[in-house]
Structure 1
Amino acid sequence: MDPECSQLLPALCSVLADPRQPVTDDTCLEKLLDWFKTITEAGSSLLLLQENPCLLGLLCHVLKPQDLSPRVLAFSLRLAGMLAAQEDCFQYLQQGELLPRLFGEAGPSALDSVPAEPRFLLSLPLSPTPGAVDTIFSLQGDSSLFVASAAGQLLVHVLGLSLQGPAEGHPGLQTGDWPVCAQKIASHIEESLRSAATPQITQALNVLTTAFGHCHNPWTQVLWVRLSPLVASLLEKDPVPAAHSLVDLLLSVARSPVLSSSSCGLWETLAQTLSHLSPTQAGPLALGILKLQECPQALRAQAFAVLLQPLTCVLEATAQAPGLLGMLLPEGGRVQEGSPRGSWARPCLAPHGRHLTWPQNSWVVMRACTTCWFPTQDRHTLASRLGASRLCDRGRATAPAVLVLEGRVLHLSVSGPRELVTQVFAVLLEYLTSPDSSPTVLKKAFQATFRWLQSSPETPGCSDLDPHAQLFLRDLLPVLPKRLCSPCWEVRDSGLEFLTQMIGRWGGQAGFRHALLASEVPELTEQLLRDPESYVRASAVAAMGQLSSQGLPLTPASPEHPGGQQSLLAELLHILSTDSEGFPRRAVMHVFTQWLRDGHADVARDTERFVARVLQVASRDLDWEVRAQGLELALVFLEQTLGRPSSHCPYAVTPPVAAPPSPLAQAPRPLCRVQLFEFAFRALFDCDRPVAQKSCDLLLFLRAQTASYSGPQGSGSVPEVASVEAALQRWQAGEQGQPLGYLEPEVVVAVLRSMDLEGLRGALAESSDRVEKSPRSLLQDMLATVGALGEDEADCY
């Protein structure tokens, strides 16, 4: 322990032991315990007590009858448990029977109020004795869910502790040969499973879930063999009690390497559970089974069938109604006479190995995943045939599973007959046009549409869309404006994201450009720059940036804006300067950085003026990500000035031994004209560490690039260097100060060479709260809150 901390610790123990000094900050006590835990894990608990007798004094003081705060009492007991975890310290604390007096029945009078702190239970240095176990049993029924949960965890720890040794090496050992404490716990769990009270069954199932999830010793197999018949017998009750906890237990057992590989009837129990639970209860279990590494094929098929129950229900109902069935079958498709209802769909839903084999007519599954494709009158017919409440219950029961199913179907790659692709496009278009599609389904449909278009066959030697995809796009573009005008902001946002992806992929193709410009999409996108929702404004900025990058005219030419495009640059600068939300401003910085990297026409007209304006605005932004992106833009400008291709990660480079001398000699001057150095120097002392780190890397990179630079004067004779260094010291101290203004290149190079940027980078690499969260700071602040220290000694922890 640090000597300064050792000097402060006695005073703190006196404060904690004084009932007149209430400690109201639980967070400080938690951090104090974390500190002690770090010390005990790294060294001897006994040595800690011997070097700091005030700790032992605090534990003894807790035994005195007094009105001690429950928080302090819980802290003291948890500290005692932490110290007693080491055997030599346990024996030391046993002298004078300190531990029995602390944790026994004759312990502190305020002990009844302590279990409100759940982690207190896990610190108890309990020996696995029947009396201690009875206490844990009673705490399982505590009114606090946190305490009840912690009691169950402690019960598992005690069970594992009592079985260390003989039972670990003998998988065949019967529970009757277990130690008394372990037998008592196993019997208690057994009695709880036989109970008619659901809370007791829940407690037992939760304890077993924790045991099988965290303990992978052979004794878990012995315990499961004994208790699995009782677990299976729960399925005979109607309704099945504690179904959620039962599902958690079975999945925990199935994931256990000890139990899943043994022949203990686990897979049969899982199959029975799937059959007995309601759709709402069986859905999570079925999903969990499909994720298991090892699972019998028959059980996997059964789990998949559970997930598709709503779909099966719809298919069977439509098989009885030719009009509805015709909406799902391919054109001209028929169901053979005498075939079982829905049998035509079953092959396409059968699992194959660990993967799902989808049919060539997978679009049928897509249409059947939701009833939104049925016209209103047909939907009413379907609902009456299925039972409206039954249909709704099944839909709600497996809604997450259906979303997973839709995600898999919608992300199929385009392979197969051209008719299949055309049919899939038709279904996707129905998703996008249907007024019943939820925002989540629309987002998935937009994503799936882009993937299908992206993977559609291309004409050899041409990267344009194939004719079928162009026809689909021709039908889609009239739909997109409706989505961009949706009253739901999530829909507008999804539409803009889809548009941005499309422009980035096919913005340079004549067919796409013509279809896009013939629609209302560009004008609506520009209007969404002023959307009330910040996420939508940010997505609109990205879309407009892509449109402009592809040279698509956004604003008609006018006498005020002959080029048409210039108004977008001005509007984006306005957003960067005035938008109240960070997301649109971040999007603008990303667009500007990409424009500079790609040589956008409006940026290339006067690159230095553009960079200077953007950096000036970004330097005043309150969002650290905007300032960090400003450094990324500065980096791109620096690389272009040096005549090198832009790179996203240039910081780990070696000094440029082969750099051409002529551009290098002139490099600092344009950087000074755009005031890049002032922006970087201010960012170097930014209060947000990521910004400071990025600036430090940038300046190190720049110093390496200008290593061979020599101005008209020697760097040591420049009088302005001292004033610049003084200004940087004031900035580092937290003062804002006046701007540096234009700096001569030789001044900047001299300042860079004089700065300890490597040391600063090392300091920034450390935790930003390394000093503030030191143990000394914690002790000082805890003492200062009760007036035990002067104000000057507090460290504002």
Structure 2
Amino acid sequence: MHTSASLPQSHRPDHCALDSHRECVSLLPRVCELLAASGSCLPDDTSLEKLLDWFTQLSQNGTSLHENFPCLLEFISTVTHNTASDPAVICFMIKLTGVMASTVEGFQILQERLTVDEVFKVQRWQGAGLWEDPSVRSGWIHGLRNMMQHPGALSFFIQSEMMGHLFLLQTDSSLFVASSANQLLAHILLFYQPESPLTDIVMSTCDYLKQSLLPKEQKQLQQSARLLRLITQILSQAGAPLWDKVSEAVSGPLKDLVTTENSQLTVPLMEVILAANWYVNKIQVLHKCYQAVLKWTSVCTDLSWMSYQLRQDLLRVVQKRVCDLRWEVRDSTVEFLGQQAALAPSSSIPSQSLLLLDECSTLPLLREALQDQENYVRASAVSKLQEFFQLGSWVTDIVTKLLSILCEDTEGFSRRAVVQYFISWFSSSSSSPSLLMSSIPSILSHGSSDLDWEVKVHTLELATLLMDSTLAGHLTQPWHPYAAISQPTYNFSSQNSETNVEDSLSKLIEQGVISTLFSGFYDCDRPVGLKACQLLISLQETLKKSECTVKCSLPSWGWGQEIRALMGNLNGSDLVNVQEVLRCLNLEQRLCVLSQSSDHVQNSPLSLLQDILTARDVHSHAGTAEGQEIIVDCY
């Protein structure tokens, strides 16, 4: 049993942390055994990501994983040879192998055991029929990305002839897999430059880009856009030899792309051109300059004296910086554009008297930033567009772009910002613009089924506003946001009360609010389930004094299947009475379960390991009382 003696001096734990470390060491073999069991999976597979984060942090801090946790080697071997394992567990195992092989010593240990050869052999997973699962392909990519931190890993990658598989994954049917494959290729080229073994990879990459960059049909435009962003990343960070080879290889295809004049590729094309030509001062200096300009603008009551030429000079500077190679520069510029727009209150005063740059200058730049290659910049652009809700025809185009981000963007930051944009718009409107209301069903549908739990929570916040708006004037009591059930309850006047209830409920169903609540109620992420449960309790309180006959349709998947199982025989109908469903959900008991968390005991990796074991034990016993399942909580 290894203790702090195996850790570097700067990372040795105190006595309390040491006790926790010992407990983790003692619990981990049971966790590994559980995960390696045939066909075994967890109710919440995000706990595997949290466990991987812990191992990654330990490895980065100098802890030898194979020495401190020898059971991990047996776990990797067992899962590798058990093709009946759950794909989520296989994905976790491959990523973990990459983490353990990220150090020279760890790589050598795994190579001596032939582990890296077996884990990263694509043919093994193809033969078992598991390569078709996107999570396995994603695990392979991330595992390699974790491992590629030293020359030995590069040699292994080349000798194993993995480049062909990586090229195929650049155009994978899963956007998440393709995006990760792009990042891995960029990492290999940039991290190992100018290693001599890299020459063959650079040549094959250049050949691949020549052949694949120009779209042969409309559906390949997205592939071309991804490859253009890959080229931008390489050119903006490459040294002279790599830069020369890549730029020479893509110059011909780039010229061909320019002549096609395809508007969907304009922004990535511009980024490639800028990557080859533009440089910028230190980012901190630029940020301080922006803040100084904002401060100066805020104390000036009238800027009408400022000449047209000065404004144009500023605009040119901003236009250059918003297209800079460094995402931090672009992000600071987007923040500046939004902050300076916010300085002008809604009034009849011409904007040129209050702002350095008016909306005609600012909006096009923010709209372009919505397509930035960096998710932080895209999220900032979405956030700053909240200053322009009332700009007529501009808004229609912006809403279309935002809905596209919510549906297609691979990063959670951007999608969260989109839902928050609509929350802000709805909250700030005295009336409900038709464009906003017509977008609500799409926002709720995509937001409630998002992979990111924060997006789903924000979607439920929008659903809360819609409930408040639809049921306005019927609050039974004041409510406080930090109350135990932080949602209002409503009451309808006796006059036409049944009609009021049914009309309001029908409206909520039409908007997609009710399906969002049911989807959230059955969600595997505890914060999502908790908020949805609270909202359903509020709705149940509203309906309890009436016999409402309004029905909603059930989807054939997910929460629809759960409710069908709960309600029993529906005689083949896809419709179900909302009030009857609420009665059957046992909301109060579910709220009690969801309100519990292991955090009140200990918020640590040890807590996570204990949760995994407990959740699996309960999940495997059919006799567990309904509603008493254990929620695997975030730490």
Same fold (TM over 0.5): no
| Coarse TM-score class (shorter-chain normalised) | 0.3 to 0.5
Greater RCO (Cα-Cα under 8 Å, separation 6 or more): 2
Larger radius of gyration: 1
